[in-house]
Amino acid sequence: MCETDQRLKSKIPGPDTGIEIKHSICDICTPGAHCGLDVYVKDGAILKVEGTEGFPGSDGKLCTKGACSRQYVYREGRIKTPLRRVGPRGSGSFEPISWEEAYREIAGTLNRIKKEDGPEAVAWYTGYSKWYRPWLHRLVHSFGSENYGTESSSCFKATQMAWTTVTGRNYRPDLRNANTYLGWGSNVLINWHIMGKELNAFKARGGKVIIIDPRETPTSTKLADIHLRLRPGTDGALALGLCHLVIENGWLDRDYVDRYVYGFEEFRAYAARFTPEYTQEVTGVPKELLYAAAKLYATNGPAAAYSPSATLTHHINGYNNFRAVIALQALCGNIDRKGGMLPIHTSLVYTDCGFDTKEHSFVTDTAPQHCKERIGDARFPVWAALSDEFQAMDLTRQIEEGTPYPIKALVGFGMNHRMFPQPKRLLSALDKLELVVCVDLVMTDMGAYADILLPACSSLERSELKGYPGGLLTCTEPAISPLYSSKPDPQIICELASYLDLNDPLLKSGYENTMRYLISDLSVTLEELKAAPLPIRVKEFKPYRPGTYLERGFETRSGKLELFSLLIDALHRPGLDPLPTYTDSFDSSDPVRFPLTLITGARLPNAIHSRLHDVPWVRSLRPEPAADLNPGDAAGLGLQEGDGICLSTSAGSVHVKAHLTEAVSPGEVYLYHGYREADANELIPADHLDPYSGFPGFRQTRCAVTKEERTERRQ
């Protein structure tokens, strides 16, 4: 916190002011963060928010987005009551109805569809919000189906799949004990301020930083010792080139490879194609820099690496590129090693807290024994083998074509069609459904297509069980009552279970009771958690002992780190390679007509998907959607800063402003996603998907830029 902020920070308000400070959390981004909030409340209304000092990870800090929490809660467009559609789908004409009517109508239709077409005919989906997922997943199981899907169909799952293929589970960097940090497509100073803080400390104590990113970013300019500016999507070639250098120069950990790695010889032979010259040709990274990076990474260990959920995997060769990056870490003996990578054992909602809850049994206890294949399973067999969700990128197709079976209803919690490539296609497909239900905080364009809309409340209006690394657990209390007639999602889920009359007494016993169940193996009670101002350390906390998997074997078919995947080999699917082979990632459109590369989604400090585009403070930091272009390219196109441009691909076009910056390499164009008036995803071909993970090519589509006649933005 800067000095000015320190001065401005209020003293604890006296009792005569009527102001109370309530402890809550921000859940605008991923559960790994969820920063502590001090919420100043008077007469049931939020006056302001500040970060909570001493809170795990965030320790009093908030990012730009969390600092706007008050506006996020009180924003326009909050859904006030359950609504029933009265006009045509998409018209936005609704009438208010009671919760009771809404539940009865939803349950009646869903149970009828289940009887006539089977439970799989209902698709259940949740967007980026992750906190209520165990409840939703259990509800879907109790309903009798596996057709549960999430936004992780284009985030997180592909990285998890790649890690699981090689090691049997997911891994995280042990930065505190590392000597070198490999940030592969990671801009943590902007995207994850908590890790950014750790990385600053790491650098200050002499740690070496390698950043692999096509752009210059705050992270690369402030922290990198070596920055490799590769061409987008060529990460696999780069990783294989680095592996080749490590092997050729004898920098690999030979003993580790002999003992713990499976498929080394096949991998070595394949990687040998990626000579420095060839790797330079493919990636654009000078071979001297390749050499320096390989040497630093391999010889200044232990080395921790971080590659986020989105960067590498938003390419149609993303899963294999990610596996190649893991292979580099295996060759240098950094997996399951102190200061390298440590395994993740999830305690609660994707977070590794170092203790067990009953989340796994909560989710799986009611799973059906026999059901039809999930959406996307047939099209993406590696996904089918490694994921416990449906692949939502196949949802539109299955609704349109009705194969392998028709989908009749969709229930979406925090569902945003703008996350899908060619989102209008999904909206059109919804016309085929008998029932669309949306649960959201605000009326969205997706919500306008729903038959029934239900109002959810924000993290400041609810109680939430929340764990943090280091054995920490809390249960937040609502800072204010739920606004209007909104409810916490798990409460909606538990109540829906009752109206559906499911054979699930636990879910039907209500939200509070299910929270108690989740922690019933721990020595702490819900009351104790609620009473404590900060998360408390539970007695059952057991830190992981690095090297445990090296001793007892990895959870793969061979028990080793698989550079050659026995799982993929056993699938016998043409086109799916057990080795992390490299292919080009571009869509098939004409490079003469579309000469530039479009990268959509590189994060902005003031945005998170579609969620904050309507929140005034954050919006004011970049009021209009703009595409980032290199000034050299702009000059060639006759463009100046702020000019209106038409950005087009084989899938569609949008109209935005041009923002010129040297941070972007020539030939590349960056556009953030989720804007109503310029939806980046209309530019992404919906069928250009990674054959392993099913992920879209959000970050490598051929595009063209032309100057608009009029410079004002078109609607």
Q: Which residues bind ligand SF4 (CB under 6 A)?
A: 26, 28-29, 33-35, 58, 62-63, 65-66, 193
Q: What residue has token string 């169909």?
A: 153
Helix (H) or strand (E) holding 140: helix 133-143
Per-residue contact string for residues 267-306; x = within reach of ligand MGD by CB under 6 A: ----------------------------------------
325 is in the binding site of which of ligand SF4, ligand MGD, Mo ion, none (Cβ under 5 to 8 A by kind)? none
Who contacts 300 (Cβ-Cβ below 8 Å, separation ≥6)?
179, 180, 208
Asked whether position 155 contacts Mo ion by CB under 5 A, the answer is: yes
Q: Which residue is nearest to ligand SF4 (CB)?
A: 66
35 is in the binding site of which of Mo ion, ligand MGD, ligand SF4, none (Cβ under 5 to 8 A by kind)? ligand SF4
Q: Which stretch binds Mo ion (CB under 5 A): 155-163, 174-182, 393-401, 579-587?
A: 155-163
Count of beta carbons in the 10 Å neighbourhood of residue 399: 22
Who contacts 553 (Cβ-Cβ below 8 Å, separation ≥6)?
559, 560
CA 101 to chain centre: 34
Exactly one of 174, 213, 352, 504 binds ligand MGD (CB under 6 A); which one?
Answer: 213
Q: Which stretch binds ligand MGD (CB under 6 A): 356-364, 371-379, 602-610, 640-648?
A: 602-610
Peptide bond into 404 cis (omega under 30): yes
601 is in the binding site of which of Mo ion, ligand MGD, ligand SF4, none (Cβ under 5 to 8 A by kind)? ligand MGD
Q: Of 26 and 634, which CB lies nearer to ligand SF4 in the complex structure?
A: 26
Exactly one of 601, 625, 691, 697 binds ligand MGD (CB under 6 A); which one?
Answer: 601
Q: Of 133 and 337, which CB lies nearer to ligand MGD in the complex structure?
A: 133
Mapped onto helix, strand or coil, the DSSP state of residue 695 is coil
CB of 200 to ligand MGD, least distance (A): 16
Exactly one of 136, 139, 190, 194 binds ligand MGD (CB under 6 A); which one?
Answer: 190
For the chain, the first-to-last Cα distance in angstroms comes to 39
Exactly one of 178, 310, 435, 615 binds ligand MGD (CB under 6 A); which one?
Answer: 310
Q: Which stretch binds ligand MGD (CB under 6 A): 149-157, 241-249, 259-267, 345-353?
A: 149-157
Footprint of Mo ion on 282-321 (CB under 5 A): 309
Per-residue contact string for residues 671-700; x = within reach of ligand MGD by CB under 6 A: --xx-----xx--x-------------xx-
- Determine the Cα–Cα distance for residues 160 and 536; give it in Å rounded to an integer: 29
Alpha-carbon distances of 150 from 123, 367, 414, 532, rounded to whole Å: 11, 17, 10, 32
Burial letters 223-232, b for 16+ CB under 10 A, else e: bbbbbbbbbb
CB of 603 to Mo ion, least distance (A): 9
Total residues at interface with ligand MGD (CB under 6 A): 58
Residue 348 backbone dihedrals phi, psi, to 5 degrees: -155, 125
- Determine the Cα–Cα distance for residues 598 and 647; give it in Å rounded to an integer: 9
Question: Which pair of structure tokens corresponds to residue 477?
Answer: 């209390």
22 is in the binding site of which of ligand MGD, ligand SF4, Mo ion, none (Cβ under 5 to 8 A by kind)? none
193 is in the binding site of which of ligand SF4, Mo ion, ligand MGD, none (Cβ under 5 to 8 A by kind)? ligand SF4
Who contacts 124 (Cβ-Cβ below 8 Å, separation ≥6)?
136, 139, 140, 143, 145, 147, 148, 149, 410, 411, 412
Exactly one of 127, 196, 471, 490 binds ligand MGD (CB under 6 A); which one?
Answer: 127
Q: Of 309 and 581, which CB lies nearer to Mo ion in the complex structure?
A: 309
Diameter over CA atoms, the chain: 76
Q: Of 28 and 411, which CB lies nearer to ligand SF4 in the complex structure?
A: 28
Q: Which stretch binds ligand MGD (CB under 6 A): 136-144, 207-215, 293-301, 553-561?
A: 207-215
Asked whether position 603 contacts ligand MGD by CB under 6 A, the answer is: yes
Q: Which stretch binds Mo ion (CB under 5 A): 52-60, 148-156, 390-398, 668-676?
A: 148-156
HEC sequence for 550-619 = HHHCCCCCCCCEECCCHHHHHHCCCCCCCCCCCCCCCCCCCCCCCCEEEEECCCCCCCCCCCCCCCHHHH
Residue 600 backbone dihedrals phi, psi, to 5 degrees: -105, 140
CB of 572 to ligand MGD, least distance (A): 30
Q: Which of 362, 392, 409 is nearest to 132 (CA)?
A: 362
Q: How many helices (H) and strands (E) does the chain have?
A: 26, 27
Asked whether position 24 contacts ligand MGD by CB under 6 A, the answer is: no
Helix (H) or strand (E) holding 266: helix 264-271
Written as one letter, the residue type at 481 is S
Handedness of CA 518, 523, 529, 534 (dihedral sign): negative
Helix (H) or strand (E) holding 438: strand 435-440
Footprint of ligand MGD on 435-494 (CB under 6 A): 439-442, 444, 456, 489
Q: What residue has token string 């009646």?
A: 108
CB of 310 to Mo ion, least distance (A): 5
33 is in the binding site of which of ligand MGD, Mo ion, ligand SF4, none (Cβ under 5 to 8 A by kind)? ligand SF4
Mapped onto helix, strand or coil, the DSSP state of residue 420 is coil
Asked whether position 669 contacts Mo ion by CB under 5 A, the answer is: no
Exactly one of 38, 50, 146, 151 binds ligand MGD (CB under 6 A); which one?
Answer: 151
List interacting residues with ligand MGD (CB under 6 A): 29-30, 127-129, 151, 154-155, 184-187, 190-192, 212-215, 217, 232-233, 235, 308-312, 314, 413-414, 416, 419, 439-442, 444, 456, 489, 599-603, 605, 607-611, 673-674, 680-681, 684, 698-699
List interacting residues with Mo ion (CB under 5 A): 155, 309
